[in-house]
Amino acid sequence: MTSTFSRIIFALTTTMLLAGCGGTGGLILTPIENIDATPYRISALNETEKQNWGHLDLVADTIPGMSIDKAYSEIIKNRKGDKVIVAVLDSGIDLDHEDLDGVLWTNSDERPGNNRDDDGNGYIDDIHGYNFLGESYNEQLEYVRMLRLNIGDQTTLAKAKSKLDSEYPKAMQNKQQYEQILQAVKSADADVKKHLGKDAYTKEEVAAMEATSETMQRNKAILAQMFSIKETIPEVIEELTDVVTYFTEQLNYNLNKDFNGRKVVGDDPYDWNDKDYGNGNPNNRVDDESHGTHVAGIIAAERNNGKGANGVANNVAIMSIRAVPNGDEYDKDIALGIRYAVDNGAKVINGSFGKSFSPKAEWVYDALKYAAEKDVLFVHAAGNDGANLDDPSNPNFPNDQVNNGPEISNNVITVGALDPDYGSELVASYSNYGDINVDIFAPGTDIYSTYPDNTYEYSPGTSMAAPAISGLAALLFSQYPNLSAAQVKKIILESGLPIKAKVILGGDPSKNASLDEISTSGKIANAYNALIMASQVANGQLQL
């Protein structure tokens, strides 16, 4: 499960110089000295930069994007490459979205709506993917389910109970706190509108407003603080409402020991042999189920069509696999989802989810190994707790090793998130990190992408950083189809930009480290460099 409210909640309280060859003749990887000499940006991002910052270039734009625009203009140009299937293992996707409807995977061997398994793959009417959640949406967190069903040994259950005893009152306190803040903002907003005699006002008008009473002084102070978070008060009210809803749903569903969201699905989620469940409709069920749609757009929103956003990859078919509810995903759904993606032709699987308890982790490990055997790359979000995943007390599942041991497969990339600010705050305050457990960092904060009903929104999270890497992997497979998943993983990690300066960890200025101390690669992803290195590997000029 991922949270997109980390930022507002926080606010309120071996790259080498190598000559190119083949299709990238004359191009070189970004020189390291140019990275170290990049000045810190002083001016704020304009609207165009905000919507596209993850595609910009660190050296040219002083914004730590992945150099996507530079890669297209100087390397890819008009070359489409081979079509690559990318599975989005997530919540449902708005399959009718104007910026996604042209990039959907279609199972041509299946006839829609006849309630038959025409292609014999074991799934009925799976035209654009599969839905392992049926009509369910809200769910418990895994450790709460474990307590409800008494799953696990006594040590694990004791740990789960301790966590619930801690998290439930915190969620209750947060709900009450943000309800009070929301009410205070609404009251101040109404008073100031009446005082100014207008329905809308600016930050400057509030600052210049003469506060003749104690109440108006308080209103002025409240709104001044809110303007530091969003540009308009209606935006603040909308986001605060979302935060209150988030904590309300935590209490009603995620942390509610008596809730059972799975009963409408009809299977036993802890029985591997009970696989006859779900349906062939992986569309989102409600507008709030927007996560998968946003992720899909980051990977593959139709490029240069004059609408919304541009995806990273230009020749992709998105396979929608609905397996992540509003709560923690089930290990069985994830394992079966990975196998479904592999068996139906996906080359990349994006997993923007995670949880701290995984009672059937072996099912997912086996699925990851199966994907490795079939040469399929799995890209996973590092998580949004601002924590060190190398600390055994901060597990994040799924992963590609057990107890910080050797990797169980060579096809998994775990991705941390970047802010658009180059400097000490480069790594997002919410992003998890870890020299063993996090491989690389990519743009993740306030990423502009597709939302249900032909809309577009900004969202933050490692959930947004992972699909940036999935899109990059698809781009490499598309341009150089003979590369293996292991090679693409190495290329992405080794071609990134090594940032040597110390960065703040977890939003705590007293905690800082260099990227090589908090990730396997010590780098931020760079598509321009990756394409050059991929060309060298594909043409036998470089061995990895």
Distance of CA 268 to the CA centre of its chain: 28
Strands 508-513 and 129-131: unpaired
CB atoms within 10 A of CB 501: 14
CA–CA separation, 379 vs 358, rounded Å? 18
Per-residue pLDDT averaged across 55-69, rounded?
95
* Cα separation values, 535 from 155, 252, 347, 468, 494, Å: 51, 52, 19, 20, 14
Smallest CA-to-CA distance from 145 within 282, 277, 325 is with 325
Note whether 179 and 393 are within 8 A (CB): no
- Give the start-to-end residue ranges of the domains of the chain: 6-31+45-139+277-538, 157-254
Average model confidence (pLDDT) for the chain? 93
Find residue 415's DSSP bridge partners.
Answer: 381, 440
CA–CA separation, 8 vs 271, rounded Å? 39
Tokens representing residue 297 in the block: 């757009």
Smallest CA-to-CA distance from 381 within 450, 280, 466 is with 466
pLDDT at 8 over 50: no
Distance of CA 454 to the CA centre of its chain: 20
Note whether 239 and 8 are within 8 A (CB): yes
Tens of pLDDT, residue by residue over 244-294, are 999 999 999 999 999 999 999 999 999 999 999 999 999 999 989 999 999
pTM of the model as a whole? 0.92
Strands 447-451 and 455-459: antiparallel
* Cα separation values, 33 from 29, 213, 494, Å: 12, 57, 17
pLDDT at 154 over 60: yes
Note whether 395 and 404 are within 8 A (CB): no
3-class DSSP assignment, residue 108? coil
DSSP states along 290-314: -HHHHHHHHHHPPTTSSSS---S-S
Confidence (pLDDT) at 134: 97
Tens of pLDDT, residue by residue over 183-201, are 999 999 999 999 999 999 9
State which H helix or E strand residue 208 sits in. Answer: helix 203-208
CA–CA separation, 452 vs 462, rounded Å? 20
The share of the chain scoring above pLDDT 90, in percent, equals: 88
Confidence (pLDDT) at 38: 72
CA–CA separation, 346 vs 110, rounded Å? 17
CATH superfamily of 6-31+45-139+277-538: Peptidase S8/S53 domain (3.40.50.200)
Task: Tell me which of 543 and 158 has the higher pLDDT.
Answer: 158
Find residue 413's DSSP bridge partners.
Answer: 379
Q: Quickly state the pLDDT bin for 33 (edges 50, 70, 90).
A: low
Note whether 127 and 319 are within 8 A (CB): no
Task: Tell me which of 56 and 4 has the higher pLDDT.
Answer: 56
3-class DSSP assignment, residue 59? helix
Confidence (pLDDT) at 28: 59
CB within 8 Å of 474: residues ≥ 6 apart: 84, 86, 299, 300, 312, 313, 315, 316, 347, 348
pLDDT at 235 over 80: yes
Q: Quickly state the pLDDT bin for 10 (edges 50, 70, 90).
A: very low
Confidence (pLDDT) at 544: 83
Note whether 54 and 443 are within 8 A (CB): yes
In this structure, what is the dihedral angle of CA atoms 55, 229, 416, 76, given to the nearest 10 degrees? Answer: 0
In this structure, what is the dihedral angle of CA atoms 265, 267, 271, 272, given to the nearest 10 degrees? Answer: -80
What's at 496, amino acid-wise? Answer: G
Q: Quickly state the pLDDT bin for 19 (edges 50, 70, 90).
A: very low
Per-residue pLDDT averaged across 362-367, rounded?
98
Tens of pLDDT, residue by residue over 491-510, are 999 999 999 999 999 999 99
